Chains A and B, each alone.
Chain A
């Protein structure tokens, strides 16, 4: 069953490698997001849309 065997292996390889990459890059994303939010926190109309 080459299709299901290779798909299962691809899933395991993907989950073992890409997940780590996304996790490392994601930490940077969170830090940048919170920094931008902090910077703009003191800058609004006060009215909700």
Chain B
């Protein structure tokens, strides 16, 4: 693979990485308590919160799946971003759940659950949050490494080295400075990332043109490329599934909630939500345009060999990085790679820290017989973040994606999003909610997505490959078929998702009503 990445670009990237490391490590002297490490002593104000949340929720993996959506679905692929922005704006404006959550003064959601559902539910919630989160973030590093290899024309064997170096850099300042380092480096990354994204987008629009974008979508996807309700394979289940996922994510996704809980008060946290809402449209539309540009000018035959090199079944993931490797000139390539590394570092650091805080605060809680000193607490938090880093490295190297990246992230996220969001709503607004309902909801919420993932991974069905007119493709006298996961073929990812939310709600209500009321003394 050739690319326009030169030593000048390498210098720009190196300088940026060095600056980030120095700033991140310098912040460590402010960390004296566990509260500093996990929630920045709740000193975060509105604009730092907006910059931090916008940077955290835009990683290379975000860019990869959003551009894949643009490449494979046209403009309709940006619907999840619109759903996310609507959910965030409405929840921020109304304070639905998040006001009560922040006012409670907890450091994590399971800590709030203990007040309502008891210690066991707190511990169990911590377990499913960590399980769903780790499976989700496990693909981040691989996506980031693949982008660098394709975009910079790096040797494929350098992928592991690139991933390792990137992770060590992020882990060092996250381990030392916790949330304080994450917030300050996020801010730096927000500025670098935004500048790079804008420059590249104007370059793409200038070189490809608006007309070519719409023509490409029209040619490949027709009306469905602009309207998800009439798109093949999308329709209302896709929109509803994304609305549910994104609402639940705004309420309970660790990286989002960490900003709310690090805010000075609930009013500040809500302002961070409303102020960040439109950035969630940007994070789908900007890479989506890059993906559509790839659809317009990249020959599909170029992508298949790239996919094979990585052992990935779906080569559409590499359309955008390949486009950028050919389109972005030397010099500007350094700015692009620095911007993308900025995006990835802010994401990785925040994910490691916020999921680590659940392990410390909620999973280890029953094992702390006596109160720990601040020093011991910080040491354990640092150790946990380092362990998550090691997990990310090995999972990122081992796991190969079976299908669409966003659908994978949605399904693994649902392992806890469905149950935690419904438990949180019930905790805040339903007096009859109790630990029976909570446990039933958690079990159902985790079991269904895990079952669907397992069926897709281990049981495949052969289905005919159809051309654009819906006719079966025949090659050398034989019908062409492809392997599809069992749950994906018979149920579909979107219905698995919608069904999980519905059944968790039923489990929560039925479980709570079945528990006999406590007898008064």
Chain A interfacial positions (CB closer than 8 Å to B): 1, 3-5, 7-8, 10-12, 14-16, 18-19, 22-23, 25-30, 32-34, 36-38, 40-41, 44, 46-49
Q: How far is the CA of A44 from the CA of B30 in the complex (A)?
A: 14
Of the residues B32, B75, B281, B371, contact of A47 by C-beta under 8 Å? B371
Q: A34-B30, A41-B30 are in contact. Are A15 and B282 (CB under 8 A)?
A: yes
Chain B: which residue is nearest A34 at the CB level?
B30
Residues of chain B lying within 8 A (CB to CB) of residue A44:
32-33, 374
Residues of chain A lying within 8 A (CB to CB) of residue B141:
none
Q: A32-B45, A34-B30 are in contact. Are A23 and B190 (CB under 8 A)?
A: yes
Q: How far is the CA of A12 from the CA of B286 in the complex (A)?
A: 8
Chain A: which residue is nearest B365 at the CB level?
A49
Of the residues A16, A23, A36, A47, contact of B51 by C-beta under 8 Å? A23
Number of chain B interface residues as a range: 35 or more
CB distance from A33 to the nearest CB of B (A): 5
Residues of chain A lying within 8 A (CB to CB) of residue B119:
none
Q: How far is the CA of A47 from the CA of B75 in the complex (A)?
A: 53
**Is B155 an interface position by the 8 A CB rule?**
no
Residues of chain A lying within 8 A (CB to CB) of residue B275:
22
Q: How far is the CA of A38 from the CA of B194 in the complex (A)?
A: 30
Q: How far is the CA of A23 from the CA of B307 in the complex (A)?
A: 38
Comparing B36-44, B243-251, B400-408, B433-441, the segment that makes contact with chain A is B36-44
Q: How far is the CA of A28 from the CA of B47 in the complex (A)?
A: 9
Q: For the A-B complex with A15-B198, A37-B36 known, give 12 more contacts whose Cβ atoms are closer than 8 Å.
A: A3-B226, A4-B226, A7-B78, A14-B279, A19-B198, A22-B190, A23-B194, A29-B44, A33-B48, A47-B374, A48-B371, A48-B376
| B372 and A47 contacting across the interface, CB-CB below 8 Å | yes
> Interface centre among B40, B45, B180, by most A CB within 10 Å?
B45
Q: How far is the CA of A10 from the CA of B286 in the complex (A)?
A: 11
Query: What is the total of A-B residue contacts with beta carbons within 8 Å?
Result: 104
Chain B interfacial positions (CB closer than 8 Å to A): 30, 32-36, 40-41, 43-51, 54, 75, 78, 107, 180, 183-184, 187, 190-191, 194, 197-198, 201-202, 210, 214, 226, 275, 278-279, 281-282, 285-286, 289, 371-374, 376-378
Q: How far is the CA of A27 from the CA of B378 in the complex (A)?
A: 27
Residues of chain A lying within 8 A (CB to CB) of residue B197:
15
Q: A26-B187, A33-B43, A49-B35 are in contact. Are A1 and B48 (CB under 8 A)?
A: no
| B285 and A8 contacting across the interface, CB-CB below 8 Å | yes
Of the residues A10, A27, A28, A48, contact of B33 by C-beta under 8 Å? A48
Of the residues B45, B180, B202, B377, contact of A37 by C-beta under 8 Å? B180
CB distance from B82 to the nearest CB of A (A): 8
Residues of chain B lying within 8 A (CB to CB) of residue A37:
30, 36, 41, 43, 180
